[in-house]
Chains A and B, each alone.
Chain A
Amino acid sequence: MIYPCLGLFVAGSLFDIATGREHWPYSPYGMYSSVERARSLQTLRLIGVTRAGSQFPLVANRYLWPFNRSSLRWTLGRLNESADRAQRLPAALEDCLRRYEERRRAGRHDGPPLQALGLYRVWWTLDPLARNVDRPDRQELLMQVRAPIGGGG
């Protein structure tokens, strides 16, 4: 009884390790396995537009819980590269904006009301002291959604 169970676990684990494929809770545990060679950073970031028109990066986990900024980045990355990007990405961003506003109105975060939410690709040249963390070198808008008129509050 025990040997077959252990065999199942070992076989599944070795399969995922060998193929590099993911079958949660089996996994090849490939996090951080690539080699970073350039002193730069490119990532996806959700940036809101406040009613005053200024940009507001949604970097705190509390804004879009139960997503956290890391998992959401991966998820939006997958949606951005999916074949049906044009349908799914705006729907995902609308859900994020709705979630942000609902949580704001419920007092679960202190972010400003947003009139729009955009997914950006953001580039930094790495500073040894990370002094430019709030000032990316460049950002490219991938998709933006606007809050429904009369929404927020």
Chain B
Amino acid sequence: MKRLRDRWRGFWFAPASPTDLGVCRMLFYGAFFLYYLPLDDSAWASVSQVFWMPTTFFRLLHLPVLPATVLVGLQSLWKAALLLSCVGLYTRLSTAVACGLGFYLLGLPHNFGSVLHYDTLVVWVLSILALSCCGDGWSLDRLIAVGRRGDAQDASVPRRSGEYTWPIRAVWLVMALIFFGAGVSKLRYGGLGWIFSDNLAIVLIQHNYRIANADPLLPWGLVLARHPWVCRALAGVTVTGEFFYPLVLISRRARWVLVPTVFGMQVGIRVLMGPTFNQYLLCNLFWIPWSRLGAYLSPMRLGSQSAAVFFDGGCGLCRRTVAVIRRLDLLGRLEYCDVLTGWTEIEARFPQLSQAQCLADMHLVTRRGKITVGFDAYREIAWGLPVGWLLLPVLYLPGVRPIGRRVYAAVAANRVGMACTIPGSAAVVSDDGTTRIPSR
């Protein structure tokens, strides 16, 4: 009994880093922000009331069809909430708004006589993430917190908690029940005849008669329909995969078999029959162990550390900047050297550097020994950060370098004044405005 209880608790609350949940949050909201960007529910406001057949929750909550202008506003707010949730800014609020508005906007089209299921999973995942601490990893909220704390060393150490496990498991549970329900329905209403008759062959042909919301991508359904045993085998795989899908909750082997099988089945439905389950396909991202994948694609595989960054550990601004860069250094391409506390070792490894210069400006030394300073160092850093790759085209535009150098110089001049305000900052500002290193 104790073993069972431990296993149960381990399933839901095994301590984990915030990485998996954070990456899932980012990809889920990012994918659905893009997916729903063209969504426009405002046309429902112009549909005659004769079609209005509210679903249970819309009826109980007295949710009406709002005027088109209000719907447009709500949609914009919802999409903004999805985007903010993706980047993890004001994550608690944005995920709650995305959930509440998502329930209304995604639910609205189902109140006009036909209740479809393509977005139920999205609504459940929005609810789960709104209740979770999904903003603790891979979020701007986290980066801002790290930047404010300015703790460059501790920033890379993730906290582990069961709070980062249960939301992913809950999404698994939702998917398991959805597919289990579909499997049960087929066996309940169709029986084994769903598998062993010509049912699937007939359905494949019927869907070439323009009855679904979309046409098949390819006419291969007609080809398959000519082979009854292939259709029966596919039907068998479908029902088996759906009915036994809950096994994925307790068996890793089942996960390896059933998740790709049902994923393939939904792709097959789109290709051969037409109905679209893009939302379900996207939600499969919750099955991917992102932190393990990241470890697999670790610097060892992508190339070792490519450069060393030298910063003034006594400068609050520098420490905060490095803390943020360290969080963004997903591939571990950079080495961070505090010139203030680790100079003895640095001097031995990099005799070409001067401590005074490194304290004055951020320095970067590439693996090939090339030294860059200030803005150029930041530009070099951008090569090592996946987020920085997005900025590279801008950083190398003509004219950007001189502007960047001036901005860097201005910030560097101001950082002296900022250093004293940062708790734990070791540097002391002299009367002449320069930073003085305390003697050790």
* B174:A9 contact, CB within 8 angstroms: yes
State whether the Cβ of B67 lies closer than 8 Å to any Cβ in chain A.
no
Stretch of B106-114, B136-144, B291-299, B379-387 lying at the A interface: B106-114
Asked, given contacts A27-B117, A74-B114, whether A65 binds B43 with beta carbons under 8 Å apart, the answer is yes
Q: Is A41 an interface residue (CB 8 A)?
A: yes
| Chain B residues closer than 8 Å to A5, beta-carbon distance | 127, 131
Residues B202 and A39 in contact, CB atoms below 8 Å apart: yes
Cross-chain contact of B206 among A41, A65, A71 (Cβ < 8 A) = A41
Instruction: Write the A56-77 contact mask toward B (1 if CB under 8 angstroms, else 0).
Output: 0001010001111111111110
Q: Which of A1, A6, A23 has the most CB of B within 10 A?
A: A6
A-B contact count, CB below 8 Å?
182
Beta-carbon contacts under 8 Å, A106-124 to B: 124
- Residues on B lying within 8 angstroms of A by beta carbon are 12, 40-41, 43-44, 46-48, 50-51, 53, 55-57, 103, 107, 109-110, 112-117, 120, 123-124, 127, 131, 166, 170, 173-174, 177-182, 184-186, 188-191, 193-194, 197-199, 202-203, 205-206, 208-214, 222, 225-226, 275
Whether A28 lies near B181 (C-beta < 8 A) is yes
How many whole Å from B375's CB to the nearest CB in chain A? 48
Q: In whole angstroms, what is the CA distance A65 to B43 when docked?
A: 8
Instruction: Give the contacting residue for B55; candidates A16, A24, A59, A79; CB below 8 A.
Output: A24
Q: Take A41-B211, A66-B43 as given contacts and tell me if A24 and B110 are in contact as well, using a CB distance cutoff of 8 Å.
A: yes
Enumerate the 4 nearest inter-chain pairs by beta-carbon distance, A residue then B residue, closest first. Answer: A75-B113, A74-B114, A95-B48, A130-B208
Residue among B188, B193, B205 having the largest count of chain A Cβ atoms under 10 Å: B205
Could you write out 5 A-B pairs with CB less than 8 Å apart?
Answer: A14-B177, A33-B182, A33-B189, A35-B194, A66-B109
A104 to chain B, nearest CB (A): 15
Question: By DSSP majority rule, is chain B's interface helix, strand, loop, or mixed?
Answer: helix
Contact of A142 with B by CB under 8 A: no
Please judge, given known A-B contacts A33-B188, A92-B50, whether A66 and B124 are in contact too, CB under 8 Å: no
A23 to B54, CA, bound (A): 10
Q: Is the CB of A23 within 8 A of B198?
A: no
Instruction: Report chain B residues within 8 Å CB of A34.
Output: 189-190
Whether a CB of chain B sits under 8 angstroms from the CB of A126 is yes
Is there contact, CB below 8 Å, between A36 and B206? yes
Q: Which of B179, B194, B211, B226 lies at the interface centre, i.e. has the most chain A CB atoms within 10 A of its CB?
A: B211
Closest chain B residue to A31 by CB distance?
B117
Complex: how many Å from CA A28 to CA B177? 9
A13-56 near B? 1/0 per residue, CB < 8 Å: 11011001011111111111111111101010000000000000
Q: Is A138 among interface residues, defined by CB-CB distance under 8 A? A: no
Contact: B185 with A66, CB < 8 Å?
no
Which chain B residues lie closer than 8 Å to A91 at the CB level? 48, 50
Chain B residue contacts of A43, Cβ below 8 A: 209, 211
- Whether a CB of chain B sits under 8 angstroms from the CB of A149 is no
Whether the pair A35, B199 counts as a contact (CB closer than 8 A) is yes
Apart from A14-B177, A33-B185, list 11 A-B contacts with CB within 8 A: A2-B166, A9-B170, A28-B181, A29-B117, A31-B275, A34-B190, A36-B203, A43-B209, A66-B44, A69-B213, A75-B112
Determine whether A133 belongs to the interface, using a CB cutoff of 8 Å to chain B: yes
Complex-state Cα separation, A91 to B51, whole angstroms:
9
A44 to B, closest residue via Cβ = B211
Give the Cβ gap from B163 to chain A, nearest Cβ, in Å.
9
**Contact of A88 with B by CB under 8 A:** yes
Which residues on A are within 8 Å of B, measured CB to CB?
1-2, 5-6, 9-10, 13-14, 16-17, 20, 22-39, 41, 43, 59, 61, 65-76, 78-79, 88, 91-92, 94-95, 99, 124, 126-130, 133
CB atoms of A69 and B188 under 8 A apart? no
Q: Is there contact, CB below 8 Å, between A75 and B51? A: yes
Q: Which residues of B lie under 8 Å from residue A26 when comparing CB positions?
A: 120
Whole-angstrom distance between the alpha carbons of A133 and B180 in the complex? 34
B265 CB to closest chain A CB (Å) equals 11
Chain A residues contacting B50 (CB-CB under 8 Å) are 79, 88, 91-92, 95
Looking at the assembled complex, report how far the CB atom of A38 sits from the nearest CB atom of chain B, in whole angstroms. 8
Partner of A33, one of B12, B103, B124, B186: B186
Determine whether the beta carbon of A124 is less than 8 Å from that of B181: no
A36:B177 contact, CB within 8 angstroms: no
Our pick among B178, B186, B222 for the contact of A128 (Cβ within 8 Å) is B222
A residues less than 8 Å from B275 (CB atoms) = 31, 70
Tell me if B112 and A71 are in contact (CB < 8 A): yes
Contact at A16–B181, with CB atoms within 8 Å?
yes
A34 to B184, CA, bound (A): 12
In the complex, the answer to whether A35 meets B190 with C-beta atoms within 8 Å is: yes
- Shortest CB–CB separation between residue B269 and chain A, in angstroms? 9
In the complex, are the beta carbons of B197 and A35 less than 8 A apart?
yes
B113 near A74 with CB under 8 A, answer yes
Cα A23 to Cα B53 with chains together (Å): 13
Contact, CB under 8 Å: B51 / A6: no
A129 to B220, CA, bound (A): 10
Q: With both chains docked as a complex, state the minimum distance between the C-beta of A44 and any C-beta of chain B, in angstroms.
A: 10
Are A92 and B48 within 8 A (Cβ)? yes
